Amino acid sequence: MKPSTTARLGCVDLPAFPLQLLLRRHPEWRAYPAAVVEEDKPQGLLLWVNEKARRQGVLPGLRYAAAFSLASTLRAGQVLPAEIDKAVDELVNALMRFTPEVEPASDEPGVFWLNGAGLQRLHGSPLQWADGIYQNLRRRGFAVNLAVGFTRFGTYAIAKAKKGTTVFHDPEAERTAAWKAPLQRLKIEAEFRDALFKLGIKTVGDLFSLPPGGLRERFGREAHQLYRMAAGDFWMALEPKSPEEPLVQKYILDDPEDDAMRLLFVIKKSLHPLLAALAKRHHALLTLWISFAIDHGNRIRESLRPAAPTLDVVQITDLIRLRLESLQLDAGVVEIELRAESCAATREQLYLFERSVLDHVEGPRRNLEAANRALARVRAEFGDESVVCAKLNDGHLPEARFIWEPLQRVQSPKPKPHTVKTLIRRVRTEPRTLEGAPLRSHEDGWLLGAKYGAVDKLAGPYIFSGGWWNREIQREYYYAETRNGDLLWLYYDRIRRKWFLQGAVE
């Protein structure tokens, strides 16, 4: 597809973005060759490197030990994916001030495409638009390269190859500049890059000296796709990230209310889901705006700002209580709206909020160490066999499908999530004999003795036989649903001519 001369597309490249995050953490490393490694081990792969490392021959894809042999002052560290994702989300929100359509690269953190079509009245010219983006990111402390042109690949290649801001007014000029971009600046597999270097292919333009069919056959689909994108034959629509909805909670009261404590109780019910939504975005509350709609009157808008961004519901509730006690209302409140302004939360804030929610829902966590000490005392007094747990076992009979083994330590349960409730068959360790004629006829149905009463439904028989190698077994299993609501699992032993209760279904 031929690019339109009116459509504008911008590509922002924050070079070695994870490395920039690493250098923010270790600013003393800026004077040295530096790299982000996949693992902090000698054989860990280098993922991103700075210019000082590149000048000494250190490139992404090398092993840490091999890179260290090229640059003896190399500094390297890990950057966790969660830290990168969090920073990318913050930058997407910042770039949405300049265009509603921002697409972060899924496989290359720090690369963003922006749709600049239709923004002439807001920014005047593509150059002004690009300069606004560039200055905003520089103020945030990032090194930025930015290209504004007409195609996805062209802007990407130029942003990776040229420093600063580059704006093209002609698609042909963009294409010419893109063909001069060095391949080592682009995100391509290390083996493919090294193989091209051996063939003397060092720029995008050099790539077109190779036959496309042979390129696909020798290097695979990704290499052929790179060729097609550079040639302009492969067009990909922008996939912008949806902007986050503002965090708002509304509550409409049945009757006008002017009591401060009752209003606090209403606000607190809306505050919990608001903070949960913030935590889900990995944010903390910066400012809380509370809007009161007065009965037959205007709105009152109040703002509360904690001493530091927080997710502590107790701290926020206390600030709300103090504000409500000083608030003068001319009439009752009929509607309350909470709106949150937020910023990135720390890992400790998110952990403490998660723990407080779990304690609120599930109650305080049990002390496993105290439980193990208590069980040790039980074993000391009554013997090791007094504390046991069930374990699945291979067996022919239902009662032999599990065994009891000594329990050494208590561990937290790890149940699997289930969306549908399932019935559980409780199996007795020893089948219980049903004395007499438990299934005797009755005018209201069969009876299972005085304890269980009449049987409404009986499913079976399910015949089970075997044991000829030891002791012959012939059983007829039934499910009996009693009028009391019990669902019993029982069987008739043909050899012993007795009825037994094997278990129950709950």
Do 276 and 231 belong to one domain? no
pLDDT at 112: 93
Do 498 and 468 belong to one domain? yes
| Within a domain: 420 | no
| Within a domain: 283 | yes
Q: How far apart are CA 338 and CA 272, in angstroms?
A: 11
Q: Distance of alpha carbon 384 from its chain centroid, rounded? A: 44
Do 220 and 323 belong to one domain? no
Bridge partners of residue 424, in order along the sequence: none
pLDDT at 494: 80
| Within a domain: 409 | yes
Do 408 and 338 belong to one domain? no
Do 316 and 457 belong to one domain? no
| Within a domain: 387 | yes
Per residue of the chain (506 residues), what is the pLDDT tens digit? 444 445 688 999 998 888 899 998 888 998 999 999 988 888 889 888 888 998 999 888 889 989 988 998 999 998 888 788 888 888 988 898 898 889 998 888 889 999 988 777 788 788 889 999 999 999 988 999 999 998 888 898 899 888 899 999 888 898 888 888 888 788 777 777 777 787 788 888 887 777 777 777 777 776 777 777 777 666 667 777 766 677 888 888 888 888 888 899 889 888 888 888 888 888 888 889 999 998 877 888 898 888 888 888 888 999 999 988 888 888 888 999 999 888 778 777 777 777 666 555 444 556 777 888 888 888 887 877 788 887 887 776 777 777 788 887 877 777 676 666 677 777 777 787 776 545 544 445 566 666 676 777 778 788 877 766 677 788 888 888 877 778 888 888 887 878 888 778 87
Q: How far apart are CA 333 and CA 479, in angstroms?
A: 60
Q: CATH code at 304?
A: 3.30.1490.100
Q: How far apart are CA 448 and CA 25, in angstroms?
A: 74
Q: CATH code at 32?
A: 3.30.70.270
Do 89 and 233 belong to one domain? yes
Do 212 and 233 belong to one domain? yes
Using an 8 Å Cβ cutoff, are 74 and 35 in contact?
yes
Q: Which amino acid is at 225?
A: Q
Do 51 and 193 belong to one domain? yes
| Within a domain: 294 | yes
Do 169 and 40 belong to one domain? yes
Do 270 and 306 belong to one domain? yes
User: What are the CA-CA distances from residue 330 to residues 293, 302, 337 (Å)?
Assistant: 11, 15, 18
* Stated pTM of the model: 0.51
pLDDT at 420: 66
Using an 8 Å Cβ cutoff, are 341 and 248 in contact?
no
Which of 241, 265, 291 is the C-terminal boundary of a domain? 241
Q: How far apart are CA 22 and CA 41, in angstroms?
A: 17
| Within a domain: 378 | yes
Tokens of residue 97, six digits: 């001030």
Tokens of residue 422, six digits: 């399932």
Which of 413, 441, 473 is the C-terminal boundary of a domain? 413
| Within a domain: 13 | yes
Do 216 and 252 belong to one domain? no
Strand extents, DSSP E, 153-298: 164-167, 248-257, 283-294
Which long-range contacts (C-beta less than 8 Å, at least 24 apart) are formed by 117-122? 117/6, 117/7, 117/8, 119/8
| Residue 454 domain boundaries | 425-505
What is the number of structural domains in the chain?
A: 4
* Nearest-10 crossing angle of helices 221-231, 212-219: 150
| Within a domain: 419 | no
Do β-strands 454-466 and 473-482 pair in parallel, antiparallel, or remain unpaired? antiparallel
Which of 318, 337, 361 is the C-terminal boundary of a domain? 361
> 407: closest CA among 448, 379, 370, 440?
379
Do 114 and 138 belong to one domain? yes
Non-local CB neighbours of 502 within 8 Å, separated by 6+ positions: 398, 399, 427, 428, 431, 477, 489, 490, 491
pLDDT at 442: 46
